[in-house]
Amino acid sequence: MWEFRLFDYSSDLVILSFLLLFLSALGVPWLEVSISSPGDALYFLLLPWVLVIPLHEGLHALTAKLLGARVRFGVTTVDKLVLVPYVAIETPLLARKYIFVSLSPLILSFVALTLAWLLHSNFWALVYIFNTAGMAGDFLTTLVLLRMPSDAEVFDDGTTLRSDSMVPPPYPSWVSSVLKVAVVLVFLFIVLKARIEVVVEKG
């Protein structure tokens, strides 16, 4: 039995999530979030995640069910600190079909981005950004599936993709180095572009 363990790429996942966060934010250039009260923090930082998590995982589950798979919801931990919800696919699916399961949360990103522009809404912009950044693992899984034989069957316990066919890595090892360089360049870009305003009140 061959397998692909997503958490073996934990550092790449963190970097890719940050890059997706940055790139998706470019899609809503007018976004401005001002946190001046606990209510603002709740509305802009917590509530979008409360919406994103069930919809994101629900789209995985719905797509898998439509393709005939049996699904199970669960929660795991990363480094015994961070709780991560997941959807386990207990019925083997063809690798090419599983790609649709992996990429199904893009529907939420598209809907949220559309609403953000139509309503000029910071809230929906954040839903779009957070959901897209949260798809780092989905994109890595898709890269693995694309490199597998089209007739290979796979199933997923939520954190590990398994198959009787060979499960290749998502990309060559040098790509991890490229990601590290990319995130440093993005960080420098953000620092150089950042505006720091100091307001001095005269009493």
Q: What is the pLDDT of residues 83-106, one digit of tens each?
A: 677 888 889 999 999 999 999 999
Terminal Cα distance for the chain, rounded = 72
Distance CA 125, CA 112 (A): 7
Spatial neighbors of 39 by CB under 8 A, at least 6 apart, are none
Helices (runs of H) and strands (runs of E) counted in the chain: 8, 5
Question: What stretches in the chain show pLDDT beneath 70?
Answer: 77-83, 194-203
Tell me the pTM. 0.88
In contact, 155 and 93? CB cutoff 8 Å: yes
Kindly give, in sequence order, each residue whose CB lies less than 8 Å from that of residue 128, ignoring residues fewer than 6 positions away.
24, 27, 28, 109, 112, 113, 116
- Please calculate the CA angle 164-168-169 and round it to the nearest 5 degrees: 140
Task: Say what the pLDDT of residue 77 is.
Answer: 66
Instruction: Show me where the domains of the chain are located.
Output: 2-193
Cβ neighbour number for residue 43 with a 10 Å cutoff: 16
CB atoms within 10 A of CB 35: 12
C-alpha torsion 173→175→176→181, nearest 10: 140
For residues 162 and 174, give the distance between their C-alpha atoms in angstroms, rounded to a whole number: 24
DSSP 38: H
